[in-house]
Homo-oligomer: A and B are copies of this chain.
Amino acid sequence: MNDNEAKELFKFVIDTHKALSQILRFSTVPTIHKQNVAEHSYFVALIAWLICVRMETKGIEINTEKVLKLSLIHDLPESVSGDMPRSVKKGEIRKIITELEDSVFQMMIGDLPEDMYDELSATYRRWELGDSLEEKVMRFSDILESAIYCLCEKELGNSNMDRIISNMIIWIDGFEDELMKSLGNEYKRKVVCEE
């Protein structure tokens, strides 16, 4: 790796580091523990991994490496655009924001050495739209992590999460996989039992 490539890679890492440590999730709702995008993405990856383990146990073919990469990268565009509430992202606006995030993503990785650019670019998929098993596992983990964050806020006493939790449950219920169903049910038991 020549000096210039090292410089580009380093710049990408430090810019991403600064932004993802700073950007907070649920930015318009009163929260107690302020969660940044990096810690969210970490837990998404951890949950997704464990789901892959069980899928493999059951003989389902899944590319765990792909799932982990998707998890690490799925919120990267937020490092430039900031966290925008999901409630805003619908209909017309959703399409616009998707385009916005895509172009932001291209801007972010544009100066990376070519091999890294190709890898991140190939991995990055508009996950809301994707349809492979890998994307589904990541998408479920993304929502389950958000739901767990809301549960943790609730356990800290925060009553502002109730409406969001209801939405989360609806989204969770949209997944038909047996394993996801079990986890969703356990979540619902936990949310109710904490009340």
Does A110 count as interface, using CB distance less than 8 angstroms? no
Give the number of chain A interface residues (Cβ < 8 Å).
Answer: 86
Choose among B5, B13, B21, B113 the residue that contacts A30 (Cβ–Cβ < 8 A). B21
Does A133 count as interface, using CB distance less than 8 angstroms? no
- Which residue of chain B is the closest to A13 with respect to CB atoms? B47
Could you tell me if A50 and B156 are in contact, using CB atoms closer than 8 angstroms? no
In the assembled complex, the CB of A116 is this many whole angstroms from the nearest CB of chain B, namely: 5
Complex: A39 Cα to B115 Cα, angstroms: 25
Choose among B20, B29, B31, B186 the residue that contacts A10 (Cβ–Cβ < 8 A). B186
Contact with B along A28-60 (1 / 0, CB 8 A): 111111011011011101110110011011000
Residues of chain A at the chain B interface (Cβ within 8 Å): 1-3, 5-7, 9-10, 12-14, 16-24, 27-33, 35-36, 38-39, 41-43, 45-47, 49-50, 53-54, 56-57, 64-65, 68-69, 72, 79-85, 87-88, 93, 96, 100, 103-104, 113, 115-116, 119, 145, 148-149, 151-152, 155-160, 178-179, 182-183, 185-187, 190, 194
